[in-house]
Homo-oligomer: A and B are copies of this chain.
Amino acid sequence: MSIKGAHSACNEPTDGETLLLDRLRKAVGSKHVLTEGTALAGALSEERGLYKGNALALVRPANVEQVSEVVRLCYETGVSIVPQGGNTGLVGGGVPNGGIVLSTGRLNKIFDIDRVNATITAGSGCILAEIQQAADDAGALFPLSLASEGSCQIGGNLATNAGGTAVLRYGNTRDLVLGIEAVLPDGRILSDLNGLRKNNMGYDLKNLLIGSEGTLGVITAVVLKLFPKPVQRMTALAACTDSQAALDFYGMMRTKNADILSAFEFINRFALQTVLDHGGGSDPFGDIHPCYCLIELSSINPDDELRSRLEATLTEAFETGAVLDAVIGASETQNEALWQLRERIAESQKFEGASIKHDVSLPVSKLAEFIEEAVAACLDHVPNVRPCYFGHFGDGNLHFNFTRPKDMSDADFLAEYASVNRIVHDIVNRMSGSISAEHGIGRTKREDLHRYKDPVAIEVMRQIKSALDPKGLMNPGKVL
């Protein structure tokens, strides 16, 4: 792919663009300003192929000073920037529409691990799995964990306030961050790489940048919290009569075992069936049940009786009828097999045809009511649509998807994408939920953000955006 096809306005770079490219090459070195080739092509789209963009160049600065220089040059010339980490986002937030793509991939140094302070300081281009590994090597846990951990970068995790499977115990990405360094839209470097647990010196600019999806600046380095490593874990799958029963069971687990509960995931039968049919694995139960809860317990205390605590709560849940049956993993292999029943849903679902997806959250107390109402409304709208929902029940977060009816074409079903989204999101909104629990807004949900978010909040976001990025050059067209 050449620059001719890759940038937006015309087929040849303008004189101004050519001059900018020259200056960028001086700033970061010629081989790190890519105007053609597979690296650039990869940066212009995302894995699922839903979005395809264009850009003048892919620019790969090596350190914060170079990032600052790149951003300053773009600011001076009015050229927009899309900051890009591992490009694993699910809402098109990293796909450019002209301007340059600024890759954080070379900011990939782990600067420091402080075992006593329990912190790790790293460049934003570090792969999440590398950070997990570095923590592990130091005898500690960095708990952030998500499907794309082998390729996503920690800077992108911060930019999107990534969630994942460990939120219930350890919080979202923003809860794991102590310090930050970022380059602002005009090139200024904001330096706050502190490793402090308490620090009330002025406004919380760190959290403003976290979750702003690259629209307020480029995160270049972070200080992250580390935790003591659990020394034992236990995984179980419980079968429940319905989502209200699953919710009741969650309440029992939380009250009795919040200190050891590291995951409480919900899976409806259809979701499990797709994994059994297409993803491998076998049904741990002899009977078919309406839905399932995948539970992980873990403890840093070797003497904690995870099994007896779990069994006591299961017994209580059997007695109330909330849980119908349960299996407990007897080995790490079995634990892993149980987890795969949850992890493989997204890929297995594809085999059943097109899906319409939602990443929503509700107050935990509203989950069952939401599921009942939203499933009924969507079935009413698309008869025989197949609800496929699962997710982080303990966080109130559902991946609330629908697979096309067996006898409907993908195209006919996908024509209903907007209308089904609207039905689901209207119910979410009425129940005081969020239409983006963990994936962010990006391009995909920009209209919905404006539909559902408090208009005053949108105004304030615009005021802040204008104050920090008066030319509107940092990841334009995303979020706002």
* Chain B neighbourhood of A35, CB < 8 A: none
- The complex is assembled from copies of this chain, and their number is 2
Chain A 201-242 interface mask (CB, 8 Å, partner B; 1/0): 111110110111000100000000001100000000000000
Instruction: Tell me whether A196 and B438 are in contact in the complex, defined as CB-CB below 8 angstroms, given that A300-B259, A363-B119 are known contacts.
Output: no
Q: In residues 431-457 of chain A, which contact B (Cβ within 8 Å)? A: 432-441, 449, 452-454, 456-457
Q: Judge whether A191 and B454 touch: CB under 8 Å.
A: yes
**Distance between A294 CB and nearest chain B CB, rounded to angstroms:** 18
Given contacts A190-B460, A299-B259, A459-B188, whether A198 and B453 have CB atoms under 8 Å apart is no
Residue in B184, B300, B437 whose CB lies within 8 Å of A200: B437
For residue A304, CB closer than 8 A to chain B, the reply is yes
Interface magnitude class on chain A:
35 or more
When C-beta atoms are compared, the residue in chain B nearest to A178 turns out to be: B363
Residues of B with C-beta under 8 A to A194? 432, 434
Q: Tell me if A256 is interfacial: C-beta within 8 Å of chain B.
A: yes
Residues of B within 8 A of A196 (CB): 361-363, 396, 432-434, 437
How distant is the Cα of A57 from the Cα of B376 in the complex, in angstroms? Answer: 56
Query: Is B114 a contact partner of A363 (Cβ separation < 8 A)?
Result: yes
A198-B435 in contact given A116-B365, A118-B364, A456-B189 (Cβ < 8 Å): no
Could you say which residues of chain B place their CB within 8 Å of the CB of A364? 116-118, 197
Interchain CB contact under 8 A, B189 and A395: no
Give chain B nearest CB distance to A320 CB in angstroms. Answer: 15
Of residues A171, A453, A457, which shows the largest number of chain B Cβ atoms within 10 Å of its Cβ? A457
Choice from B115, B438, B463 contacting A468 with Cβ under 8 Å: B463
Chain B residue contacts of A163, Cβ below 8 A: 198, 200
For residue A372, CB closer than 8 A to chain B, the reply is: no
Please tell me if the beta carbons of B197 and A396 are within 8 angstroms of each other in the complex. yes
Residues on A facing B (Cβ under 8 Å): 114-119, 160-161, 163, 167, 171-172, 174-175, 184, 188-192, 194-205, 207-208, 210-212, 216, 227-228, 247, 251, 254-260, 299-301, 303-305, 309, 361-366, 392, 394-397, 432-441, 449, 452-454, 456-461, 463-464, 466-468, 479
